[in-house]
Amino acid sequence: MPRKTRLRKVVEPPRFKGYRPFGVNAKNKDGIDLHYEEYEAIKLADYDLMNHKEAAEIMGVSRPTFARIYESARRKIAQALVETKNINTVYGNAIMDKDWFVCNKCHARFNIPKGMDSEKCPACNSINIESLNK
């Protein structure tokens, strides 16, 4: 029996639910499921321009595993483009990195660990804070 899939750390989930091609007549509704961790792999490698080793460390997986996630992501996107399919983002095997917040007044970023229930910014005491994990 194979080992259980390790959860991949994702810093921020994608800000969209999916992508749809336009200018095509076909009305097929079926799309391709792009996992959060695949989106994250594309983001780290091609948007943040990290090498695979750094990106793998961030996601908490080995470099070969990262390469597989990245390959799978590229193939899914390629398939969606060529076959004019929708891309849907689904949760997959991801875990959100941490519960991080940002203060809208002083732009400090911070986490709120367990046992600390204050709902205000630790740097300026503003209550205008926002979660980064939406």
Partner 1 sequence: MKTIITSSGKGEDQLFDLRFGRAAWFCLYDDTTDLMDFFENKHIDAPSGAGAKVVEELIEMGVNKVISGDFGPKAKDLLEKFNIQMVILKDDHKSIKEIVENFKS
**Residues paired with residue 96 on neighbouring β-strands, in sequence order:** 10
Among 24, 78, 106, 127, binds partner 1 (CB under 8 A): 106
Does 127 sit near partner 1 (CB under 8 A)?
A: no
Does 6 sit near partner 1 (CB under 8 A)?
A: no
**Residues paired with residue 131 on neighbouring β-strands, in sequence order:** 101
From CA 126, how far away is CA 132, in angstroms rounded?
16
Cα 53 → chain centroid: 18
Among 24, 78, 81, 123, binds partner 1 (CB under 8 A): 123
Does 110 sit near partner 1 (CB under 8 A)?
A: yes
Contact 37, 122 (CB under 8 A): no
Binding mask 36-75 for partner 1 (x = CB under 8 A): ---------------------xx-----------------
